[in-house]
Amino acid sequence: MSTSHHPRSWVASANDHPDFPLQNLPLGVFSRPGFGKRGGVAIGDFILDLQTALEASLFNGAARVAVEAASRGQLNDFFALGGSSRQALRHELLHLLDEKTLQRERLQAMGERLLVPMADCQMHMPAQVGDYTDFYVGIHHAMNVGKLFRPDNPLLPNYKYVPIAYHGRASTLGVSGMPVRRPNGQTLKPGAETPDFGPSKRLDYELEVGVWIGQGNEAGEPVAIDKAGEHIAGFCLLNDWSARDLQAWEYQPLGPFLSKSFATSISPWVVTAEALAPFRATQPARPEGDPQPMAYLFDEQDQAGGALDIELEVLLLTAQMKAQDIAPQRLSLSNTLNMYWTVAQMVAHHSVNGCKLQAGDLFGTGTLSGPQPGQLGSLLEMTEGGKRAVELPNGETRTFLEAGDEVILKARCRKEGEVSIGFGECRGVVIG
């Protein structure tokens, strides 16, 4: 892949960085020793401190307004400004961090006041999430799970007409690295007539992408599908930890509750819609015989370029593997092209009834499994509901997660002629 014609940065570690080259510039909220939470931009192995940049008057005009909002301890205010402000900030950042910038010496002289080593920082939730909605747009996951719960009727008839979703719990969203406590709840053992109470024995992960809402809409005013892109601020990785035994007992008739609301982990960096523009793709054609989306869900441009081509990876590192210094084992390699509905369709459907979306709301895509065995986004699918164990390189086996297991999600965008960008990691260790 030749990317020699693309701009490079005077921040040496950014060049050829697997996640954060000049072409990415994701935003997040971090703290450094001695300072409170503040907004920053990932560049190579560093975080550009936006408060320092603001104090040094490095930005003017629309970009300065954007930096004022993005430098705070939450990105909600920045998200609310919309796409033109994000673009103004990105344009100025690309200019300032380019190796040919005329301000290079001044910027380098600011040292770690401006560019803080990422290793010295703690990451925080990028925004205060008012509402969290988890969709179910991965059709292969829906089919696989449907076969386990309903062998004769795996995909309910509404799936191909409606972007299915449920309202999740915002209070237990946390950033990568938060510990995941095994939840308690009711479960019904096979053949039993009454449930037991206790810790979940079928703890699982879910490989998802998170969608950050930018500008909201007024209550009662749906977002038209051709305008939906204007309401999407950026993306992250999302692991919706799931207690499958609790889920099986509680999910009918109203869907997931305690089986999902105990923990959801996200990656800390918000990869903007602008950074992902080169990795837009045509929405895969629907299988023969599937209905065309209703008019409010259908837009020619969205079908032509509203999908995303992002490689998604799940790795597992057990406590024993860590002790033996064994590298994490890849469990799955999937892609966002496995989404049956686009992100714009998710936004249009969520708001079509007049629902008010707000800056900092978060959507999950649902588990994005692929059609092949090595592309499954949950242990529930990999083990066929716990019937077939996954073998690890050190001889351990897993049907579901055990104490000390660390799940690592990664994402990478690759395209011939483009600089590859990544999302960083979304990690979580199971406690108990």
> Is 141 an annotated catalytic residue?
yes
**Can you tell me the distance from the alpha carbon of 398 to that of 292, in angstroms, rounded to the nearest whole number?**
40
- SS3 assignment, position 428: strand
CA-wise closest residue to 74 among 359, 422, 423: 359
Number of neighbouring beta carbons within 10 Å of residue 192:
9
Distance CA 144, CA 67 (A): 45
- Rounded to whole angstroms, the Cα distance separating 407 from 321 reads 13
Please, are residues 75 and 29 in contact by the beta-carbon 8 Å criterion? yes
Catalytic residue among 140, 141, 231, 349: 141
How buried is residue 414: exposed, middle or buried, by Cβ count under 10 Å (0-12/13-18/19+)?
Answer: middle
Note whether 343 and 366 are within 8 A (CB): no
Q: Which residue has the tokens 């921040």?
A: 11
Write down the residue that tokens 């290079």 correspond to: 104
Report residue 122: phi and psi, to 5°.
Answer: -110, 135
Sequence-distant (6+) residues with CB within 8 A of 233 are 75, 78, 79, 86, 212, 213, 214, 270, 272, 273, 359
CA gap 294, 296 in Å, rounded: 6
Integer Cα distance of 98 and 18 in angstroms: 18
Contact between residue 221 and residue 409 where contact means Cβ atoms under 8 Å apart? no
Q: Cα–Cα distance between 252 and 188 in angstroms, integer?
A: 13
CA 194 centroid distance within chain: 38
d(CA 379, CA 203) in angstroms, rounded, equals: 9
Task: Please say whether the beta carbons of 217 and 223 come within 8 A.
Answer: yes
395: left (phi over 0), alpha (psi -120 to 50) or beta: left
* Bond before 253 cis per omega within 30 degrees: yes
Looking from the CA of 367 toward its CB, the CA atoms found within 13 Å total: 26
User: Active-site residue numbers?
Assistant: 141
